[in-house]
Amino acid sequence: MLAQELDARKEQILWAVIREYVARAEPVPSEVVFQRYSLGVSPATIRSGMHALTEMGYLRQPHTSAGRVPTDRAYRLYVDRLLSQACGGSSPEPVLSAAERERIRRRLAARDRPEEALEEAAQTLASLTEYPSVVSTPGGPRRLRHVHLVPLAQDRALVVLVTESGAEQRVLRLERPASAEELEEVSRLVSRWLEAVAGQGEPLERLAAQAQSHRGLLASVVGQLRRAVAARGNVRFFVQGVANILKQPEFQDVRRVRPVLAALDREEVLRNVLLPAPPEVHVRIGRENPVEDMRDCSVVAAAYRAGGRAVGVLGVVGPTRMPYAR
């Protein structure tokens, strides 16, 4: 019943069933495994193997006279194997040709608004995989590089934060009206300060301390900055290709799709699902998913790098039956 090691034959059979099911989205009978995967044994033997795998919890049969379907557990095993292989030897067949890669890189670089680039990335990923895909803005601790304050109205100013991985804006409510000159002075002060301490420890903390003794404006700017840099909450997500999920046979039923789509609409969910993705590539299969509504899906997430550090996350959401080979 439990996962004692599979012998070679069982493993072959399991792999075959998984691959076949991924391709057909229908229960896989022994006959098909026999025809398409030359295992050197007859259907009957395959059947007995499948029987054993079923007892071990790797396969499942929808009803007595149907083929077998892999369980989450089977996928888990399969994916783990794939990943460890990929880490070991270099992956044998790059899913994207070099030319394709280059084209994508080009298209991304051509976008002259950083957000657009991310959106484009999500789009590309979605159309490439035919699944809904998500790309997050760079998040996590970053180092500020410049700050600009721009007057908006009497009591508001726009704070433009330039970090090592892009810029973002926030509206700052001023306690008292400030002149354009004053704003500019503060911008320059803060920016220069940032430059001065660049590369040493955590600049913000020190700046905050120094700001205590300054006038209110500087203090509130610093407050805003601290909030801005405080990792959580300032990650945004671009979701693209949601409609793709409707192509999948297992999502032909609206009642099954709704929770998933609803989940993709909610930022907290995306955060929960995508952000805890520490290693390079992470796969969550079915019920492994922290979010109840996504228990019918798998999520493949990977961090992407920008300027050295891994900062953002991108992911693909699909049925548990997806070609994990990516």
Partner DNA sequence: ATTAGCACTCGCGGATCTGGAGTGCTAGGC
Partner DNA sequence: GCCTAGCACTCCAGATCCGCGAGTGCTAAT
30 binds, among a copy of itself, DNA, none (CB under 5 to 8 A by kind): DNA
Cα dist. 267→122, 165, 204, 262, 317 in Å? 16, 21, 27, 10, 15
262 binds a copy of itself (CB under 8 A): yes
* Antiparallel, parallel or unpaired: β 144-153 and 156-163: antiparallel
Starting at the edge strand found earlier in the chain, the sheet holding 156-163 runs 144-153, 156-163, 166-173
- Contacting residues for 175 by C-beta, under 8 A, at least 6 apart: 216, 217, 220
Does residue 235 contact residue 139 with C-beta atoms inside 8 Å?
A: yes
158 binds a copy of itself (CB under 8 A): yes
251 binds a copy of itself (CB under 8 A): yes
31 binds DNA (CB under 7 A): yes
Binding mask 42-81 for DNA (x = CB under 7 A): xxxx-xx-xx--x------xxxxxxxx-------------
Taking the least distance from each CB to a copy of itself, the nearer of 172 and 322 is 172
40 CB neighbour count, 10 Å cutoff: 9
Q: Which of 75, 65, 64 is nearest to 18 (CA)?
A: 75
Report which residue type is found at 92.
P
- CB of residue 317 to a copy of itself, shortest distance in Å: 13
231 binds, among a copy of itself, DNA, none (CB under 5 to 8 A by kind): none
d(CA 57, CA 196): 60
133 binds, among DNA, a copy of itself, none (CB under 5 to 8 A by kind): none
Taking the least distance from each CB to DNA, the nearer of 32 and 299 is 32
Q: Which of 51, 236, 295, 326 binds a copy of itself (CB under 8 A)?
A: 236
| 3-class secondary-structure state, position 168 | strand
205 binds, among a copy of itself, DNA, none (CB under 5 to 8 A by kind): none
122 binds DNA (CB under 7 A): no
Size of the site for DNA (CB under 7 A): 25
CB-count burial class (<10 Å; 0-12, 13-18, 19+) for 219: middle
Q: Which helix (H) or strand (E) holds 316?
A: strand 309-319
Taking the least distance from each CB to a copy of itself, the nearer of 28 and 245 is 245
> CA 48: distance to chain centroid?
39
d(CA 197, CA 43): 71
Q: Which of 23, 169, 290, 305 binds a copy of itself (CB under 8 A)?
A: 169
Contacts with DNA by CB under 7 A lie at: 9, 27-31, 40-45, 47-48, 50-51, 54, 61-68
Contacts with a copy of itself by CB under 8 A lie at: 111-115, 145-146, 148, 150, 158, 160, 162, 166-172, 224, 234, 236, 240-243, 246-247, 251-254, 257-259, 261-262, 264-265
